[in-house]
Structure 1
Amino acid sequence: MYMLILTIFLFSRHMRQDDDDCMSDVFPLEDIRGNNHVLHHDLSYIPSGTPPQGSTTESMQEFTICRRPMQQKSKPACIRSSSVDHSLNSSAGLCEEPEHRMQDSEFQTVQSLEADRSTAADTLTRNQELSAESLSTESVVLVYKNKLIQLAQKCMIQHCDICREGVSVTNTVKGSCIKLSWVCCNGHIAYQWSSQHTVRKGLHLGDVMIAAAIFLTGNNYAKIALLAKCLGLAFIHQASYYRLQRRYIVPVVTDYWNEMVRNMLSTRKHINVTILGDGRMDSPGHSAQYCTYTCMDEQTKEILLIQVVDKRETELSSPRMEKLAFERCIKTLQDSQLKIDELVTDAHPQIAKLMRTRYASIKHSFDMWHGAKNLAKRINKAGLQRGCRILCQWTRQIVNHFWYCCQHSESTEEFMIHWGGILYHVVNQHEWGSGIHDNYEPVGQCQHESLGVEHAPPWLEPDSPAHEKLRQIVLDPRFVEKTRHYVSYRTTAELEQFHQVILKYASKRQSYTFPAFRARNFLAAIDHNSHRGRPYARNKEGRYVYRRKFNKKSGRWTVVRMKQSKDYNYLIPIKEKILQRRLADHTKLHERATLSYDDPRNIQPTIAPYQPPDTRQLVEEHLSRFQQHSDNL
């Protein structure tokens, strides 16, 4: 059976070399230690009373490490086991003979080394921390298991150093790592090799890097595990992945983003800035659990701040989440001594009221894109009424005129002078002199060139039902009152594009815990800020590269100028910090973790309004219509 395994190292040395080289490179410390025992260069192994990480009761009943005196050309030290799992490789031809116990004279005492264990362990830990950067960037290859066994058999040790019997190669797969053992028929382990480094407590480097890669690239465990299953690839267990995510990956990503935020805010102290703000729910519909509110610098297009709110913080009310997240963003920006000169948001009613009452000193502008979108919706809805269908053909022209009026106006009065002219233009009257509104008496003419005899769409009849309906939309008092928020001609289009980046890391079709969802939003912001301002791609002739794109809504083909590919250079320091965090952790991976102070699960465990009943009770109460129907038959 062919099985793909993930290897960090290939065989780069012949197995017969000096003991100090073998033990420091081929057999890492964590593969042999049970109680923080360490490795010295003048010894092949340090004795321990516990089996190596990953061994089972059936495969290793008793574990002893034999220290042999250093020689000019010494053989690898012997690891003795009273019972070896011969089923690991049925083709090895191992013999199940009575246990061969070595005499006490064959072992050298190592009591003098006990006092040096802690010092050596600290030294190795510091060396591992220094090499975290090289480990995080090391190349990874795929190797077929049978090919690896074939290579091991060609480079294998011929005889056991203890009993001089022949040895065979056995293998053990743990997570994404494979370990090879050269074992004789008497159970003596003459040599062991591991395909990966270990980073404390027997945790393999490959498992850490797989978990980090899944999270940092915006993937989820289920899909990548299915990919590994399809390939036959040895893979990290699901429980191990989520433990690594909770203990190391999420905290490192959070710290990395917080440091980036501190640097950005510190450079903007006492400086007038224009902030773009927008909220995003984690799921479609009105049943969202999380709301992400993002603040962007309008000038530099950098994401300055992200606040994530759980509905448990708003008494399970989803509509209140965006307001709470907005308030937290404004408070953080003001506490950082930023001078918010203008704030651009959509026309969210709760935020608009908050700006009028609590933050009246800050100029509040509405996003042009959202305003034009809502205007188009109103026109298309009016076009569905009898006698008004012709309005649908004018939607695009009226929306374009709205953009033009906002761009060339500095006040509501000036806006209405330009805006009211659309009521004359649609009836083929391009000069006017009075009174489309009680408060405004625009006098002027259209700014376009001569339109010719034929014109599309067709002109409206004056005072027709369609014309009257358009008049109601154009001169709607609520719409006119909002125009003062549009004359700044601001748009949050870049924030809308950033929301597409969030979808890459936090899909609306997946559910996440609060820390994981927040960290995935931080990753999207790190991605955006790191690749902000990428230059446009050019071909060999130095010309810009374009891509054709068809818009299904407008039914038109357009071109998009392509940018250079992203480099994702920020992944290297994040992976390095993940490894350093693991190396600094002296606890085991499976130990129970505590919730952070800001985790909404401290409020209540789930979003359910009451505690769940017993599972057995739910099973007994569960009824199926199809099952009842079949029983009645």
Structure 2
Amino acid sequence: MGTLSHHVRSKGTQTESFMRTVSIATSTSDAPWGPATSTPIKAVHPRPAKRPRVDEEEEEESDISIIIPEPHDSTYDPAQSISNVTEASQPTDTSSTGYKDSKYIVFEKNFLKHVQTVADVRTYRRGTFLAIDQKCHHCQFSRQWKSQPAIGSSPVGNILLSAAIYFTPSSYFQVQKIFQAMHLQNISYSTFRRHANSYLETAVIHQWHQYQEAEFEFLSQRKVKIGGDMRADSPGHSAKYGSYSLMNLETNSIIDIQLVQSNEVGGSHNMEKEGLKRSLQLLESKGVAVDYIVTDRHPQIQKYLREQKITHYYDVWHLEKGLSKKLGKVAKEKDCEVVKKWQRGISNHVYWCATSSSSGPEKVAKWTSVVNHMQNKHTHDNPLFPQCQHPVRQSRDRKKWFQPGSKALYKVEKILTNKRVLSNVERLSSRYQTSTLEAFHSVILRFTPKSVVFPFIGMLCRLYLAAMHFNENAGRTQARTTSGKLRYSLHFPKAKKGGHTVKPVKSSPTHCYVHNLIAVVFEEIVPNPLPYMEELQKIPVPDALSSAFYHPPLTEAVAAYTSRFRQGQP
């Protein structure tokens, strides 16, 4: 009697064992995954005593041999698809959902060996969910096996897979390729998007706001030193999004991210100023006082901070990068080859001037001394810096030095003593720089590749995920070998043209924020998503860029397209 033998008494009769697979009847009263509804989340009315069913799992296009797809009949009503067995076995609390349990890949043949009985067998699949109904011919006893628990109408494995894809972050389509290569059952993209809209994005927004509230409460008790910079989703003035990040330079943690769409501010060239403005307004509303801010030398940022009377310092790397580009152009001119030998020395001089003194005039005095160094002179007319502090090294090789009155010296001196450059040197940050903020921008690339277009909320959530990942792993220690020695790695950057760089190897990153988000989804949001949806809906979403243009009917556009290509044809 197969797997039902412990329920049915054997009478000694010998019967041929068989398995019969029948399709799902048009009546959907036997569907084991519970009720589903096509009503979107926004249309659900709050019912305090009952969790609203906001999720509708869609049947997949690809089915294994014994799985019969859900009928797509005009009379099909998914709201009636629930059986008595499923109704009785649905968990009443999230502690029994098993989202933390270990999962395994089960092969179809190996599994079906245990269900071949003298019974009718009906199979159902919904994404990663599989249910098997067995009914004995002799005693009419029936039972149901389910591969995973369900919360309301949603199999736990389906939501968990969507959460794992969204939070890690991965691409649904890349995961789909892996599943198809393995012949592994997967959820549909529409199901993934429904989970994202109903549960996942609300979890990310809620967790980020919780983190910010705790961080602002701590920062409100002291003056904070911050760094700010913007990253665009594409180069140039064609960017759609600009994300302005604000970092606490004392802890290297991201405290705020503002996402600005270009049509909000009249063009992408205004996004950086608007992002900083929103961040500073948020800090002010939370009672956080700014000691000073370190940014690049963006003209609009300079003017805005000057008007707000906020102390503003410049990042050293941005100044050095701009000077290196100008010196590189000069080095390619005729009779200016000596400039190339001094490019690295001038770059190092920028960092030395920024970090060796605190006052602006001293920085400028040391900066202008580089012109004397290029002529092998080590005394200066400036009373703040009359003589160099390093030992004097004499060299007779005239090719190493700039000659007085030469073309090379004139051009380099003009660049280094420019009035704007001297003003920038005076305001260089002596202690904190925005290099860690640039590192955060490289982390954002993993979460929001520039080759992918995201909707506004999707882009915002991925930026928050990148910040969660960065804040959790910003303080990683250096890894050690099994013998206890510090680990280093050797790199050959293309920019160094054969030169090498030694970097310490960090310990492996952690992903505790992912587990926390999944816990929030199953323990808080899925049982009652409405309060979290209200929090999400408070975020203002700008109109799409295409909303300002004329949208012709599809038939009209197709007719114009085909007629244009038919010109000159018979």
**TM-score, scaled to structure 1:** 0.73
CA–CA distance in 1 between the matches of 2:394 and 2:218?
A: 56
Mapping of residues 361-376 of structure 1, within 5 Å: 362-376=310-324
Q: Of residues 106, 116, 119 in structure 2, which corresponds to 1:167?
A: 119
3-state SS of paired residue (2:438): helix
| 1:396 equivalent in structure 2 | 344
Alpha-carbon spacing, 1:474–1:442, altered in 2? closer, same or farther (3 Å):
farther
Query: Shift of residue 476 of structure 1?
Result: 0.4
1:330 aligns with 2:280: yes
| 1:288 equivalent in structure 2 | 239
3-state SS of paired residue (2:412): helix
1:304 aligns with 2:255: yes
| 1:261 equivalent in structure 2 | 212
Amino acid at match of 2:481: N
Q: Of residues 517, 520, 537 in structure 2, which corresponds to 1:574?
A: 517
| 1:596 equivalent in structure 2 | 537
1:217 aligns with 2:168: yes
Q: Of residues 349, 352, 357 in structure 2, which corresponds to 1:409?
A: 357
Q: Is the 1:379–1:395 contact (alpha carbons within 8 Å) kept by the matching residues of 2?
A: yes
CA–CA distance in 2 between the matches of 1:294 and 1:586?
A: 29
CA–CA distance in 2 between the matches of 1:578 and 1:463?
A: 72
| 1:234 equivalent in structure 2 | 185
Amino acid at match of 1:502: I
Q: Of residues 438, 442, 447 in structure 2, which corresponds to 1:505?
A: 447
CA–CA distance in 1 between the matches of 2:277 and 2:7?
A: 65
1:377 aligns with 2:325: yes
Query: Shift of residue 580 of structure 1?
Result: 3.0
| 2:413 equivalent in structure 1 | 471
List runs of 5+ in structure 1 lacking aligned partners.
1-12, 20-47, 57-86, 93-113, 115-119, 159-165, 435-439
Identity over the aligned pairs, expressed in percent? Answer: 25
Query: Shift of residue 91 of structure 1?
Result: 12
| 1:621 equivalent in structure 2 | 560
Query: Shift of residue 465 of structure 1?
Result: 0.8
3-state SS of paired residue (2:212): helix
Alpha-carbon spacing, 1:443–1:252, altered in 2? closer, same or farther (3 Å):
closer
Query: Shift of residue 510 of structure 1?
Result: 0.8
CA–CA distance in 1 between the matches of 2:427 and 2:333?
A: 30
CA–CA distance in 2 between the matches of 1:49 and 1:214?
A: 31
Post-superposition CA distance 1:344-363 (Å, at most 9, x none): 11111111100111x21x21
Query: Shift of residue 598 of structure 1?
Result: 2.8
1:191 aligns with 2:170: no
CA–CA distance in 1 between the matches of 2:103 and 2:398?
A: 62
List runs of 5+ in structure 2 lacking aligned partners.
9-26, 36-62, 69-83
Amino acid at match of 2:522: L
Q: Of residues 535, 541, 548 in structure 1, which corresponds to 2:483?
A: 541
3-state SS of paired residue (2:130): strand
Q: Of residues 131, 141, 147 in structure 1, which corresponds to 2:104?
A: 141
Q: Is the 1:409–1:487 contact (alpha carbons within 8 Å) kept by the matching residues of 2?
A: no
CA–CA distance in 1 between the matches of 2:265 and 2:403?
A: 52
Larger mean Cα displacement after TM superposition, 214-223 or 577-586: 577-586
Post-superposition CA distance 1:390-435 (Å, at most 9, x none): 32332111010111111123333212221112112112x233344x
3-state SS of paired residue (2:260): strand
Query: Shift of residue 605 of structure 1?
Result: 4.2
1:557 aligns with 2:500: yes
Amino acid at match of 1:251: T
Query: Shift of residue 179 of structure 1?
Result: 2.0
CA–CA distance in 1 between the matches of 2:398 and 2:492?
A: 23
Q: Is the 2:33–2:150 contact (alpha carbons within 8 Å) kept by the matching residues of 1?
A: no
Post-superposition CA distance 1:283-330 (Å, at most 9, x none): 233211111111111111111111111223224x11111111111100
Cα-Cα RMSD:
3.4
| 2:56 equivalent in structure 1 | none
When Rg is computed on C-alpha atoms for both structures, the one with the higher figure is 1
Alpha-carbon spacing, 1:595–1:402, altered in 2? closer, same or farther (3 Å):
closer
3-state SS of paired residue (2:312): strand
CA–CA distance in 2 between the matches of 1:423 and 1:597?
A: 57
CA–CA distance in 2 between the matches of 1:594 and 1:487?
A: 39
CA–CA distance in 1 between the matches of 2:137 and 2:196?
A: 42
Q: Of residues 426, 430, 440 in structure 1, which corresponds to 2:377?
A: 430
Alpha-carbon spacing, 1:355–1:594, altered in 2? closer, same or farther (3 Å):
closer
Post-superposition CA distance 1:185-206 (Å, at most 9, x none): 89x78332121111112x1111
**TM-score, scaled to structure 2:** 0.80
| 1:251 equivalent in structure 2 | 202
3-state SS of paired residue (2:461): helix
CA–CA distance in 1 between the matches of 2:459 and 2:200?
A: 12
Post-superposition CA distance 1:8-43 (Å, at most 9, x none): xxxxx9766689xxxxxxxxxxxxxxxxxxxxxxxx
